Amino acid sequence: MTAISVRNLSIDLGYGLAKKRILGDVGFSVEAGESFGLVGESGSGKSTILRCIARLLTSWEGDIELEGRSIKDMPFAEYCRMVQMVFQDPYGSLHPRQSIRTALQEPLRIHRMDRQLQRMEQALTDVGLNPDFLSRYPHELSGGQRQRVAIARALILEPRILLLDEPTSALDVSVQAEVLNLLAGLRAKRNLTYLFVSHDLAVIDHMCERLAVMQHGRVVEIMARDVLATGQAQDPYARELIQASLEYDQAV
């Protein structure tokens, strides 16, 4: 079954002569249980696509379907329980004046779910944190711990699709590996579908089965993970990007 299907997604900003195309006819699809990567340089539109799917941006054209249903027709409550998002900056994605308990309880209250305490404790345990963390505030946690709380918050509504907007790029290298392993483990356990945005090809290589390379708001090539190792991409830009990443890895 297709979990995410994006067809002809375009965004234009401005009117008349000042009209500028931010995203042009983007299309890809992600199977259920798959992990799909979006890579590209800064400003290539990866996060914008994620924000369109997350319904945080609304002025786009084209079709976005989740499990075969257009996100524009889906009731919002049902949508929330299907898709959640993990943001890039763990320092900005948790409300600075809300305790972890409030952060985790809010979605449960909104959706009137049962066994709230049990769910909250389970969510923290699942991301490798002690249930004692419930009474803490974000400023009492490290960056890695915050990102784990953000993942717990995203998973507490038991979504089937997780949108990940560079979830590790703000973290230390050692913590990055922990969070990536945690995400990989959670996906295997819960059969989640990931749409993973990153500019780090090594991360994508570790996390995703397929990926799309983006440049200037367009998808230039969709390829399988194996291509990253061989470097035999069809598109010249994609080839250049993979080559540059390989050379960087060797230099480091």
CB of 104 to another protein, least distance (A): 10
CB of 196 to another protein, least distance (A): 17
DSSP string, 110-142: HTT-S-HHHHHHHHHHHTT--GGGGG--GGGS-
Interaction of residue 158 with another protein, rule CB under 8 A: no
Residue ranges in 64-83 that form contacts with another protein under rule CB under 8 A: 76-77, 80, 83
Interaction of residue 87 with another protein, rule CB under 8 A: yes
Interaction of residue 11 with another protein, rule CB under 8 A: no
Residue ranges in 164-193 that form contacts with another protein under rule CB under 8 A: none
Interaction of residue 93 with another protein, rule CB under 8 A: yes
Sequence-distant (≥ 6) Cβ neighbours of residue 85 within 8 angstroms: 50, 54, 154, 162, 163, 164, 165
Dihedral sign from CA coordinates of 205, 38, 40, 85: negative
- ∠ CA(67), CA(60), CA(94), 5° rounding? 75
DSSP string, 39-58: EESTTSSHHHHHHHHTTS--
Residue ranges in 103-142 that form contacts with another protein under rule CB under 8 A: 106-107, 110-111, 116-117, 135
Neighbours of 59 (CB within 10 A): 8
Interaction of residue 92 with another protein, rule CB under 8 A: yes
Site string for another protein, 15-54 (x = CB under 8 A): ---------------------------------------x
CA distance 154 to 148: 10
Site residues, another protein (CB under 8 A): 54-56, 76-77, 80, 83-85, 87-89, 92-99, 101, 106-107, 110-111, 116-117, 135, 150, 153-154, 157
